[in-house]
Amino acid sequence: MRRSAEHGFTLVELMIVVTIIGLSAAVVAFVMPDPRGRVLDEGLRLAARTKAARNLAIVQSQPISLWVTSGGYGFDRRVAGAWTPVADKPLRVERWADGTRASLVEGQGRLRVTFDPTGVADRNADIRLSRDGNDALVRIGADGEVRADAQ
């Protein structure tokens, strides 16, 4: 007995498979998150790190400050009457992600908020982060409370 059909795929079957793979790749490309993350995520990260600095000021009974500029932010501690950068990993200097713009509601070029050893901030501060038409607002209250919200 001879078999008349050959084994393999037809051209139409291969084209259908290639089309399905192409459509699947397009769907994956459109639903992939922005590698920079959402601007709200950046605001939440700033808020979490600021809360950690506040808690560190309480635990170490030593003033700690947050400074913010249009290029990034960082934390300093008061040592022998001078502000010294915090070198610990969670509180190192952080630059904003590409495309993120920080505007200080007070309109200053650089903002410094200091937490005293009781966790109270020396001022209220609003920091607005913007990227690609999305905004997040990080609010620091005089009572030391820190929160981030989408705008």
CATH of the domain at 144: 3.55.40.10
Considering its fold, how many domains does the chain have in total?
A: 1
- Give the pLDDT of residue 2: 57
Strand partners, 79: 82
Flag whether 90 is in a domain. yes
pTM: 0.74
Flag whether 8 is in a domain. no
Starting from the edge strand earliest in sequence, which strands make up the sheet with 134-140, in order? 101-104, 125-131, 134-140, 146-150
- Give the pLDDT of residue 31: 67
Are 137 and 114 contacting, i.e. CB atoms less than 8 angstroms apart? no
Sequence-distant (6+) residues with CB within 8 A of 103 are 70, 127, 128, 130
Flag whether 28 is in a domain. no
Are 131 and 39 contacting, i.e. CB atoms less than 8 angstroms apart? yes
Distance in angstroms (rounded) separating the CA atoms of residues 128 and 137: 5
- pLDDT tens across the length of the chain (151 residues): 555 566 788 888 888 989 988 888 887 776 665 554 688 999 999 999 999 999 999 999 999 999 999 889 999 998 888 999 988 888 999 999 888 988 876 556 789 999 999 999 999 999 999 988 889 999 999 999 999 988 7
Flag whether 130 is in a domain. yes
Flag whether 125 is in a domain. yes
